[in-house]
């Protein structure tokens, strides 16, 4: 059993804290957001993440997990301090490190014994050294400490499963002994552990996210070519994927990647590259294709419905992906904004994200369920591929609509089946099975 402090109770911090507690450690989680901490003390989760509530409850009950807003209390017995605060997009795409700076200063001010600071936030290369300097500057007296980078690779929606089944653990430090101690914490997870230097570990995180984003933009580009040439991208992926060097995973074309990570991390990597004199051409193309992919949905709607002003467009799914309530950089909501700007009436439904949408996007008219959503609308856009949308009664959906038009931004449905039900269907990259676009006449 180790004493662990986790700073930040968002997607990464709360999952990390609760899961390390579940492995038998004693974890204190701290956040500056008092409401989040108060709610957690009352068993109310700040985020929707499958399986997390049960783990939090179990470990609070076993007195292995507690919550506070007080740094002194949080660090009193800490051996390991995990920084899990946000690193949002700043000016010109540079990562904004203000929360990391605040966390480092707060740690330093109350530090009264040796500890290992483990950074899990996604941070620009060189941030580990910068954090060490901040801590040295703000310590009341010199106390030894080590900084280890331990980038996080979990996905929202499957964060608990990803924590317990990681593909690898990456650790970077100039202090091998400290890195080995952090490695020990991760041994129960039985994943390969890569130990390297601080900067390399920080770079592994950006390179991984940029590569995954590249796969998505690649397949979106192929999908657009498929549409123009009359091929079906789903079958193209199937055929490509059997090549072991390619694989079938992470090649779903759609509305482009969203979320709180890929968009900001690709930008931050491009920014770092440019500032250091290199020309990240591929990263710029990845970002350009991604933005265009949202616009393609609007262009398809215009092809099918003409002027969108006054048209009622229903968005099926609002979160940036399925199984989450997170709407940060949600493609669905970027499409909603474009439609709204064109004078369309935008309706929406999502199984988990509607409370957030109601606060941040008041122009989106929220529906009670997918059938209510379809009522009187001119087109349904499938924007988020929730499982529960797969088995909808499409006859009932069609009967409720004013025009039976579906733009399936996630290729959730079988084009032939929907056409047989009388829908006009447009998927992504389904040139042969779906309707051919205007280039093909």
Beta bridge partners of 349: 316
In this chain, which stretch among 39-47, 74-82, 257-265, 370-378 interacts with ligand UGA, using CB under 6 A? 257-265
Give yes or no for a contact between 172 and 200, defined as CB atoms under 8 angstroms apart.
yes
Query: Whole-number minimum distance, CB 415 to ligand UGA, in Å?
Result: 19
The full 3-state SS of 250-261, as one line of letters, equals CCCCCCCCCCCC
Task: Give the N- to C-terminal CA distance of the chain in Å, as an integer.
Answer: 67
Query: Whole-number minimum distance, CB 216 to ligand UGA, in Å?
Result: 5
The CA distance from 9 to 7, in Å, is: 7
Q: Considering only CA atoms, which of 72, 18, 71, 12 is closest in space to residue 40?
A: 18
The CA distance from 324 to 268, in Å, is: 24
Read off the tokens for 405. 């038009």
Q: Can you tell me which of 29, 148, 154, 233 binds ligand UGA, judged by CB under 6 A?
A: 154
Q: Can you tell me which of 22, 49, 156, 202 binds ligand NAD, judged by CB under 6 A?
A: 156
**Does the active-site annotation cover 261?**
yes
Picked from ligand NAD, ligand UGA, none, the partner binding residue 216 (CB below 5 to 8 A depending on kind) is ligand UGA
Q: Which is nearer to ligand NAD, 50 or 230 (CB)?
A: 50
Picked from ligand NAD, ligand UGA, none, the partner binding residue 10 (CB below 5 to 8 A depending on kind) is ligand NAD
Q: Is 122 one of the binding residues for ligand UGA (CB under 6 A)?
A: yes
Q: Can you tell me which of 4, 5, 11, 415 binds ligand NAD, judged by CB under 6 A?
A: 11
Task: Give the dihedral sign, CA 12/13/14/15.
Answer: positive
Q: Is 106 one of the binding residues for ligand UGA (CB under 6 A)?
A: no
Picked from ligand UGA, ligand NAD, none, the partner binding residue 251 (CB below 5 to 8 A depending on kind) is ligand UGA
Picked from ligand NAD, ligand UGA, none, the partner binding residue 87 (CB below 5 to 8 A depending on kind) is ligand NAD
Query: Whole-number minimum distance, CB 268 to ligand UGA, in Å?
Result: 11
- Token look-up 């590569």 returns 211
Site string for ligand NAD, 224-263 (x = CB under 6 A): ------------------------------------xx--
Read off the tokens for 52. 């997390």
Q: Is 292 one of the binding residues for ligand NAD (CB under 6 A)?
A: no
Q: Which is nearer to ligand NAD, 332 or 345 (CB)?
A: 332
Q: Is 427 one of the binding residues for ligand UGA (CB under 6 A)?
A: no
Query: Whole-number minimum distance, CB 155 to ligand NAD, in Å?
Result: 6
Give yes or no for a contact between 320 and 331, defined as CB atoms under 8 angstroms apart.
yes
Q: Can you tell me which of 103, 146, 315, 354 binds ligand NAD, judged by CB under 6 A?
A: 103
Kindly write down the DSSP assignment for every residue of 209-275, as one continuous string: HHHHHHHHHHHHHHHHHHHHHT-BHHHHHHHHHTSTTT-STT---SS---SSSHHHHHHHHHHHHHH
CA 260 to the chain's CA centroid: 5
The CA distance from 45 to 152, in Å, is: 21
Q: Is 389 one of the binding residues for ligand UGA (CB under 6 A)?
A: no
Q: Is 87 one of the binding residues for ligand NAD (CB under 6 A)?
A: yes
Q: Which is nearer to ligand NAD, 84 or 332 (CB)?
A: 84
Which helix (H) or strand (E) segment holds residue 283: the answer is helix 281-305
Q: How far is CA 369 from CA 8, 161, 316, 372, in A?
A: 34, 28, 9, 5
Q: Is 322 one of the binding residues for ligand NAD (CB under 6 A)?
A: no
Site string for ligand UGA, 198-217 (x = CB under 6 A): -----------x--x---x-
Give yes or no for a contact between 421 and 398, defined as CB atoms under 8 angstroms apart.
yes
The CA distance from 405 to 379, in Å, is: 5
Which positions are catalytic? Answer: 261
**Binding interface with ligand UGA (CB under 6 A):** 122, 152-156, 209, 212, 216, 250-252, 254, 257-259, 261-262, 320-321
**Binding interface with ligand NAD (CB under 6 A):** 7-13, 30-33, 36, 84-87, 99, 102-103, 106, 121-122, 152, 154-156, 260-261
């Amino acid at each position: 059993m180790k004493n662990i402090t986790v700073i930040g109770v968002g997607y990464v911090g709360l999952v990390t804290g609760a899961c390390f507690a579940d492995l038998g450690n004693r974890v204190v989680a701290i956040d500056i957001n008092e409401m989040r901490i108060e709610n957690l003390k009352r068993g109310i989760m700040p985020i929707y993440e499958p399986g997390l509530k049960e783990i939090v409850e179990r470990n609070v009950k076993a007195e292995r997990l507690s919550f506070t807003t007080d740094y002194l209390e949080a660090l009193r017995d800490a051996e390991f301090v995990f920084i899990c605060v946000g690193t949002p997009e700043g000016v010109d795409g540079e990562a904004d490190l203000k929360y990391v700076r605040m966390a480092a200063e707060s740690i330093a001010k109350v530090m009264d014994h040796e500890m290992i600071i483990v950074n899990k936030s996604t941070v620009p290369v060189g941030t580990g050294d910068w954090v060490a300097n901040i801590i040295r500057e703000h310590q009341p007296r010199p106390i030894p400490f080590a900084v280890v980078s331990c980038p996080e690779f979990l996905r929202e929606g499957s964060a608990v499963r990803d924590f317990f089944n990681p593909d690898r653990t990456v650790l970077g430090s100039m202090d091998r002994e400290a890195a080995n101690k952090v490695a020990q914490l991760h041994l129960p997870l039985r994943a390969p552990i890569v130990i390297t230097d601080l900067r390399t570990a920080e770079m592994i995180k950006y390179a991984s996210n940029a590569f995954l984003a590249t796969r998505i933009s690649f397949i979106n580009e192929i999908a657009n070519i498929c549409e123009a040439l009359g091929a079906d991208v789903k079958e193209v992926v199937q055929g490509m994927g059997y090549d072991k060097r390619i694989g079938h995973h992470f090649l779903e074309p759609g509305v482009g990647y969203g979320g709180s990570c890929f968009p900001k991390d690709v930008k931050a990597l491009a920014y770092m590259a440019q500032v250091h004199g290199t020309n990240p051409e591929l990263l710029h193309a990845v970002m350009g294709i991604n933005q265009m992919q949202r616009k393609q949905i609007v262009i398809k709607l215009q092809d099918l419905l003409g002027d969108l002003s006054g048209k009622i467009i229903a968005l099926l799914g609002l979160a940036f992906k399925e199984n989450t309530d997170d709407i940060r950089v949600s493609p669905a909501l970027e499409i909603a904004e474009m439609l709204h700007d064109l004078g369309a009436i935008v309706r929406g439904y999502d199984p988990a994200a509607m409370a957030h949408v109601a606060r941040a996007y008041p122009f989106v008219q929220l529906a009670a369920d997918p059938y209510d959503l379809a009522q009187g609308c001119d087109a349904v856009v499938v924007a988020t591929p929730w499982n529960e949308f797969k088995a909808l009664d499409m006859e009932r959906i069609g009967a409720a609509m004013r025009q039976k038009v579906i733009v399936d931004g996630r290729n959730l449905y079988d084009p032939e089946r929907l056409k047989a039900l009388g829908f006009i269907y447009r998927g992504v990259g389904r040139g042969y099975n779906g309707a051919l676009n205007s280039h093909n006449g």
